[in-house]
Amino acid sequence: MFESLTDKLRKVIKDIRGQGRLSESNVQDALKEVRLALLEADVNFKVVKGFIESVREKAVGRDVLESLTPGDQFIKVVHDELTAVLGGAGAGLELKGKPAVVMLVGLQGSGKTTTTAKLALKLKGQGRTPYIVPADLFRLAAVLQLKRLAAEIGVDCFDSDGYKNAADICSEAARYAGLKGYDTLLVDTAGRLHIDGELMNELKNLKRLLDPSEILFVADSMTGQDAVNTAKGFDDAIGITGVILTKFDGDARGGAALSMRQTTGKPIKFIGTGEKVDCLEVFHPSRMAGRILDMGDVLTLIEKAQAAVDVKQTKEIEKKIRKDTFTLDDFKDQLKSIKKLGTMDSILSMVPGFDAMKKSKDVQIDEKEIDRIEAIINSMTKKERQDPSCLNASRRQRIAKGSGTKVQEINKFMNQYDQMRKMMKKLRQAGPRGIKAMLQGMGR
Amino acid sequence: MLSRIKSGITGLKAKLTRTHNAIMGSVEAALTGSSREEILGALEEALITSDVGVKTASEIVDGLRAVMAGRDEEKLKGCLKSAIYNILKQVERPLEIGVNQKPFVLMALGVNGVGKTTTIGKLAARYSSSGKSVMLAAGDTFRSAAIEQLELWGGRVGCPVIKQAHGGDPGAVVFDAIRAARARGTDVLILDTAGRLHTKSNLMAELKKIKRVIDREMPGAPHENLLVLDASTGQNALNQARMFNEAIGVTGIALTKLDGTAKGGIIIAIANELKIPIRFIGVGETADDLKDFNAGEFVDALI
């Protein structure tokens, strides 16, 4: 995410950092680099112009020139400005009416159908009772695709088969949802070009019919310069209330986010971060700006960890560490929590500086490593898990066979486990104060 | 014959009106600039806002700077046209179905939502109406209802579709398909694959595996690895092309959804930087709207 843009800006900022003080001329150079980076990131030409101007105005000022660390000041100016362009504070969904209606609109292939299911799952998780309405009669098998996804996530779905137009589907679905007491209607519409008058009229008609509280424009984060025109086209025609950016797990620099926000003034509400139905995250402008500047996205990581790790379980583990009864079974539970956070790659990309490190050192993350360790533990007997010291050569060979690994891998893992135990022991002996001292020592 | 070509050009022109207007509007606005540099700067902007990319746009403008004298509008248009034509001409190589390869195996690749399945449907219609026997293989076993979508296309065109259950192994599907195509003496076998982001190493590895399966079953196949790109994509299309190419070798590109959008300049950047043959451009919903890429026609429609 935003990887390349991050790289570019870091380079610019490094150049400034090398200087003792910030002069007008090196703001000029830095801005040139920022401009180029933003253009290469597909931010619209006009948006870039405006952005650069406001950064220039704010950067070439007393604060920066008199500051002792001009580089840091410059980063802050760019960061604040980026946050402002991306939309200030984050905006949630506004669900009014009974049922509240959410319409998803956008170009072909932007990811409306998948996003409809993702959104339904998210709302279901928040305790709402969503009802999915497939109203894309145009693309082959679109209705079937949504029905399948709905079944997969356990959300009810209107049966659109046999209907000839989207308006009939919507009015019937709305009537039915009212009867059955669903509180949110999620309407997937057919993909269309913003210049297709006939299809845009259909959308206007659906809007009149449904009186939606949210009309979300679903856009591909890889979209180029035209993002401004399509977003504006939809906004002018039917009045969108927000944007969902999809396919954000690729390496697109995502300049479209800046462009669309700037031209429509509508907030970006969610981002799609994977093919699976639970891969939909709330969009945080300030975090995203931080990410662009390679300050990492630690907040998202913490939130994810909180959702995945059971507090009670954590307390239990703490107790076990204190009493030195942390077994391989507990270790396995820990691995499970980590896996809930997502792939290793996606977790690590939220850590500051990781993207740059990955590029420079060509780090390959082995996503299977956790699976292998799990398999190794699963192939142990209860006794072995409680007390790994009994693992002799023949036991290790049996485990290797059972888990489809090699004896060497088991040796390696057991060594790591031993080291971990030693570390825990040290922590325990050091006590709370000692732990703090140790951590500070590591930071140095 | 001549009139057919002519109508072909005007047809394309009509489809690319918006791109044409966007570029020509900016060119005309650029010409109002007071100095030569101002005009060139405005031209560069026009190219960048069409997704040509900073690198290729500045190369084109630098080239114009070298040849442009004065500010004659017609002359400028001519120079711009030939600059773009020269870039695109290098990648104009329409796909030829070899008669010695039976079946001719075409594998469609690309990220999610670019229009792979639709392009396959259109290709099937094209080849089958030109008298070739066509078979489709439902290699996208991941996305819900992808198999059914391909089957509906098969029904429309009237060609068999080889498939397995949703969630199955795509390698097994293509294995079956090649056997079936051989047994029935099919001319063209078109393989659908699941959309995948080029950055997902496990999914790219799966693609390599599919290719190995095909190659083992029929050495030399697939004869065409067709990368499908969405014309509204920005500079990321370059990354997509590069990484799919590194993973399994892309032999041709189909650029979809060129109609309606004011952009599509990414095609020029890809031609300039990667030199991968551009086989088809998609300019509309119907099967006829998938056209062989022709640099001359394209540039004529553009400027």
Locus of tokens 């003034």: A265
Q: Give one DSSP letter per residue of B48-75, joined into a string.
A: HTTT--HHHHHHHHHHHHHH--S--HHH
Residue A280 belongs to what H/E stretch?
Answer: strand A280-282
A254 Cα to chain B: minimum distance (Å): 9
User: Are residues A103 and A215 in contact, defined by beta-carbon separation less than 8 angstroms?
Assistant: yes
Burial string for A346-362 (b: 16+ CB within 10 Å, else e) reads bbbbbeeebbeebeeee
Q: Give one DSSP letter per residue of A303-349, joined into a string.
A: HHHHHHS-HHHHHHHHHHHHHT---HHHHHHHHHHHHHT--HHHHHT
Q: CB A142 to CB B145 under 8 A? A: yes
Least confident stretch, A48-57, A150-159, B224-233: A48-57
Residues 6 or more apart whose Cβ sits within 8 Å of residue A227: A42, A44, A219, A256, A259, A260, B234
User: Are residues A150 and A185 in contact, defined by beta-carbon separation less than 8 angstroms?
Assistant: no
pLDDT score of B2: 39
Burial class (CB in 10 A: 0-12, 13-18, 19+), A379: middle
pLDDT score of A59: 77
* Phi-psi region at B53: left, alpha or beta (left = phi > 0; alpha = psi -120 to 50): left
pLDDT in tens, B24-51: 666 677 667 667 788 888 888 888 888 8
pLDDT score of A32: 80
Instruction: Provide the CB-side half-sphere exposure for A121 (13 A, CA).
Output: 19
CATH among 3.50.30.60, 3.90.1570.30, 3.40.309.10, 1.10.260.30 for A303-442? 1.10.260.30
Residue A363 has pLDDT above 80, yes or no: no
- Closest partner CB to B233 (pick from A148, A222, A229): A222
B1 Cα to chain A: minimum distance (Å): 32
Tell me how crowded residue A192 is: count the other CB atoms within 10 A of its CB.
Answer: 20
Domain spanning A100-290, CATH class: alpha beta
Tokens of A314: 């954590």
Burial class (CB in 10 A: 0-12, 13-18, 19+), A60: middle
Residue B81 has pLDDT above 60, yes or no: yes
B119 Cα to chain A: minimum distance (Å): 13
B53 touches chain A (CB under 8 A): yes
pLDDT score of A123: 94
Which range of A24-28, A356-360, B19-23, B206-210 scores highest in mean pLDDT? It is B206-210
B237 touches chain A (CB under 8 A): yes
Its ipTM equals 0.84
User: Are residues B186 and B134 in contact, defined by beta-carbon separation less than 8 angstroms?
Assistant: yes
Least confident stretch, A121-125, A274-278, A387-391, B227-231: A387-391
Residue B279 belongs to what H/E stretch?
Answer: strand B278-282
CA distances from B70 to A347, B35, B37, B67 (A): 57, 10, 11, 10
Query: Considering only CA atoms, which of A360, A391, A394 is closest in space to residue A377?
Result: A391
Cα–Cα distance for residue pair B121/B229, rounded to 1 Å: 16
pLDDT score of B261: 63
Cα–Cα distance for residue pair A136/A169, rounded to 1 Å: 10
pLDDT score of A328: 80
Residue A49 has pLDDT above 80, yes or no: yes
Mean pLDDT of B4-17: 60
Beta bridge partners of A138: none
Domain boundaries, chain A: 3-86, 100-290, 303-442
pLDDT score of A71: 60
pLDDT in tens, A181-194: 999 999 999 988 87
User: Are residues B134 and B190 in contact, defined by beta-carbon separation less than 8 angstroms?
Assistant: yes
Tell me: domain A3-86, CATH 1.10.630.10, correct? no
Residue A15 has pLDDT above 70, yes or no: no
Interface test with A, best of B112, B273, B289 (most A CBs within 10 A): B112
Q: Compute the mean pLDDT over every residue in chain B, rounded to the nearest whole number.
A: 87
Residue numbers in B near A222 (CB within 8 A): 111, 230, 233-234, 236-237
Residue A364 has pLDDT above 70, yes or no: no
Residue A283 has pLDDT above 90, yes or no: no
Interface test with B, best of A222, A229, A345, A349 (most B CBs within 10 A): A222
Cα–Cα distance for residue pair B180/B175, rounded to 1 Å: 9
* Contacts within 8 Å (CB) and 24+ apart, A294-298: A294/A6, A294/A7, A294/A9, A294/A10, A294/A352, A294/A353, A294/A355, A294/A356, A295/A79, A295/A352, A296/A350, A296/A351, A296/A352, A296/A353, A296/A354, A297/A349, A297/A350, A298/A350, A298/A351, A298/A352
Q: CB B257 to CB A109 under 8 A? A: yes
Distance of CA A48 to the CA centre of its chain: 24
User: Residue B4 — pLDDT band, cuts 50, 70, 90?
Assistant: very low
Q: Give one DSSP letter per residue of A143-197, joined into a string.
A: HHHHHHHHHHHT-EE---TT-SSHHHHHHHHHHHHHHHT-SEEEEEE----TT-H
Q: CB A249 to CB B197 under 8 A? A: yes
> Which is it for strands B161-162 and B104-109: parallel, antiparallel or unpaired?
unpaired
Residue numbers in A near B53 (CB within 8 A): 40
User: From B58, which residue of chain A is nearest by alpha-carbon distance?
Assistant: A36
The three-class DSSP label of residue B191 is: strand
Mean pLDDT of A34-54: 85
Q: Global pTM? A: 0.75
Residue B262 has pLDDT above 60, yes or no: no
Beta bridge partners of B107: B191, B225
Q: CB B53 to CB A40 under 8 A? A: yes
- Closest partner CB to B54 (pick from A36, A149, A193): A36
Q: Where are the strands (E) in B110-251, listed by range? A: 134-139, 161-162, 188-193, 224-230
Tokens of A146: 């949504």
- Closest partner CB to B263 (pick from A41, A196, A224): A224
CA angle centred on A393, ends A391 and A394, rounded to 5°: 95
pLDDT in tens, A141-194: 899 999 999 999 999 999 999 899 999 999 999 999 999 999 999 999 998 887
Residue A62 has pLDDT above 50, yes or no: no
The three-class DSSP label of residue B225 is: strand
- Closest partner CB to A42 (pick from B18, B152, B235): B235
User: Are residues A242 and A91 in contact, defined by beta-carbon separation less than 8 angstroms?
Assistant: yes
B194 Cα to chain A: minimum distance (Å): 11
User: Residue A11 — pLDDT band, cuts 50, 70, 90?
Assistant: low
Least confident stretch, A75-79, A164-168, B86-90: A75-79
- Closest partner CB to A45 (pick from B49, B153, B236): B49
Share above pLDDT 90 across residues of chain A, in percent, rounded to a whole number:
29
The three-class DSSP label of residue A214 is: strand
Locus of tokens 């991968």: B276
Q: Where are the strands (E) in B194-251, listed by range? A: 224-230
User: Residue A26 — pLDDT band, cuts 50, 70, 90?
Assistant: low
User: Are residues A98 and A185 in contact, defined by beta-carbon separation less than 8 angstroms?
Assistant: no
Higher pLDDT, A303 or B261: B261
Residue B22 has pLDDT above 80, yes or no: no
Q: 3-state SS of B237-259?
A: HHHHHHHHHHHHCCCEEEEECCC
Cα–Cα distance for residue pair B29/B21, rounded to 1 Å: 12
User: From A111, which residue of chain B is nearest by alpha-carbon distance?
Assistant: B113
pLDDT score of B13: 73
Q: CB A222 to CB B45 under 8 A? A: no
Locus of tokens 């009537």: A175
Cα–Cα distance for residue pair A266/A93, rounded to 1 Å: 12
Cα–Cα distance for residue pair A373/A383, rounded to 1 Å: 18
pLDDT in tens, B59-69: 999 988 888 76
Bond preceding residue B103 cis, omega within 30 of 0 = yes
Query: Considering only CA atoms, which of A262, A287, A263 is closest in space to residue A271?
Result: A287
Cα–Cα distance for residue pair B231/B47, rounded to 1 Å: 15
Residue numbers in B near A109 (CB within 8 A): 112-115, 230, 257
pLDDT score of B85: 93
User: From A221, which residue of chain B is nearest by alpha-carbon distance?
Assistant: B233
- Closest partner CB to A225 (pick from B197, B259, B263): B263
B242 Cα to chain A: minimum distance (Å): 12
pLDDT in tens, B166-187: 888 999 999 999 999 999 999 9
Mean pLDDT of A398-420: 87
Tokens of A273: 């971060």
Q: CB B145 to CB A195 under 8 A? A: no
User: Are residues B148 and B219 in contact, defined by beta-carbon separation less than 8 angstroms?
Assistant: no
Least confident stretch, A81-85, A394-398, B140-144: A81-85
Residue A130 belongs to what H/E stretch?
Answer: strand A130-135
User: Are residues B219 and B250 in contact, defined by beta-carbon separation less than 8 angstroms?
Assistant: no
Residues 6 or more apart whose Cβ sits within 8 Å of residue A406: A400
